[in-house]
Amino acid sequence: MNTPATDFDPSLSRVEWLLDASRQVSDGPLHSVLSNPSPSMAQPLITVVLCTRNRSDLLRGALETLVALETESRFDYEILVVDNGSTDETPQVVRGFARAQANCRSGQVRGVVEDQPGIVPARNRGVREARGEWIAFFDDDQFAHPRWLLELFLAAREQHTRCVGGAVTLRLPEGTTRQLAPASRMLLGETVGRNVPQQYNARFTPGCGNLLIHRSIFDQVGLFDARMSDRGEDTDLALRIMATGERAWFTPAAIVEHRIPADRLSDEFLLKLSRRMARGMAGIEHEAWGRFRYPFIWCARVGQAALVLTPRWVLARLRGDRERSLGARCRLQIAIDSMKDGARLLIQDLRNILVRQKTA
């Protein structure tokens, strides 16, 4: 990034550090905007980045919750909508909210357009255009709890961390009576089995639908990786952050609701989502563990699929438990696809070793 962000100084107290971060304002190219903020707005401490494409109805609902966030006067925030080439009414929705919020000290809305398609270019554009020292990420198919951003901010202060994520719950279609298995709920984005504040790790990483990051993190580890064009860009970023020694934290008090349409509850969609989730998983593990340790990780995956996931799926089918059978099948699908991708990586590693031996 061209403009250095406020450095995180561990010698400062938590309050001193946050106040210092809010005072320091960079005027370099990182803060150039396509839609200028209203003069009535103070420099925001936090920018909420919301990326969208051709989902104006969902966007409208998301913005209605974001402009009504509680802050207890602890900070000002802005909402930056990154339009990734929409052809529907998205521009009109953004302009409408921008006009309605123009005279507000906090919660102003502005928009920029990112012509390069893809969530990674859109999120990176949001980082570059953000005016805040902190950058929060939010999805267009979500509702924010009134205290969502405040709880993320308080958790960052309490844990003295530059990276904090929150909990995701599901808002299922009205009238839904199905009791989805935990695996299915996890696929749809819900935070399952995490009810207390805790530190993230390699097996539990934050997602970009509910995340707050100090901008100095991006100066340190770089932006979202453009090679992660379909899925896994948030996991990749989280692993790079934790590799620096930064302690990223989860708080269950920062809640967003993920809106789920009826068609996403079908078996076909959940299995498709499983295959998509598996995409890139092997590559991330291969890079994280290295070519010499990754074979052991791959073997562990094979053992888990054969000795745990497959029997679990068979048992659920024998019992006639549709939801648990579907959840187990989805988990098994993720494992199988990840093993296939991992096998290709192992073969490539072996070929590279043989080539080096021949040329030695």
pLDDT digits 0-9 by tens, 134-178: 999 999 999 999 999 999 999 999 999 999 999 999 999 999 999
Mean pLDDT of the chain: 87
> CB–CB of 106/71 below 8 Å?
yes
At 281, the amino acid letter reads M
CA distance 44 to 21: 11
Mean pLDDT of 228-251: 89
Question: What pLDDT was estimated at residue 26?
Answer: 31
CA distance 89 to 200: 38
pTM exceeding the 0.95 threshold for the entire prediction: no
Question: What pLDDT was estimated at residue 359?
Answer: 83
Q: Which of 260, 238, 115 minimizes the C-alpha distance to 176?
A: 260
Question: What pLDDT was estimated at residue 230?
Answer: 62
> CB–CB of 149/50 below 8 Å?
no
**What are residue 81's DSSP bridge partners?**
50, 111
Question: What pLDDT was estimated at residue 3?
Answer: 35
pLDDT band at 288 (very low <50, low <70, confident <90, very high): confident
Give the pair of three-digit tokens for residue 112. Answer: 């920029």
Question: What pLDDT was estimated at residue 11?
Answer: 36
pLDDT above 70: residue 53 = yes
Task: Read off the pLDDT of residues 97-112 as tens digits, 9 standing for 90 and up.
Answer: 999 999 998 999 999 9
pLDDT above 70: residue 237 = yes
pLDDT above 70: residue 216 = yes
> CB–CB of 342/298 below 8 Å?
yes
Distance of CA 75 to the CA centre of its chain: 22
Distance of CA 191 to the CA centre of its chain: 12
| Maximum separation of any 2 CA atoms in the chain, in Å | 70
CA distance 3 to 134: 14
Give the pair of three-digit tokens for residue 174. Answer: 């009205």
Q: Is the dihedral of CA 184, 188, 192, 195 positive or negative?
A: negative
Q: Which of 132, 154, 153 minimizes the C-alpha distance to 45?
A: 132
**What are residue 199's DSSP bridge partners?**
249
Distance of CA 173 to the CA centre of its chain: 23
Listing DSSP states for 191-242 in one string gives: --S--S-EE-BTTB---TTEEEEETHHHHHH-S--TT--SS-HHHHHHHHHH
Q: Is the dihedral of CA 62, 68, 72, 77 positive or negative?
A: positive
Mean pLDDT of 249-269: 96
DSSP one-letter code for 344: H
Give the pair of three-digit tokens for residue 311. Answer: 């029997």
Give the pair of three-digit tokens for residue 121. Answer: 């270019």
Percentage of the chain lying above the pLDDT 90 cut:
76
Kindly list the distances between the CA atom of residue 269 and the CA atoms of 182, 187, 194, 321, in Å, as whole numbers in the listed order. Answer: 16, 10, 25, 19
Q: How many of the other CB atoms lie within 10 Å of CB of 180?
A: 21
CA distance 25 to 15: 18
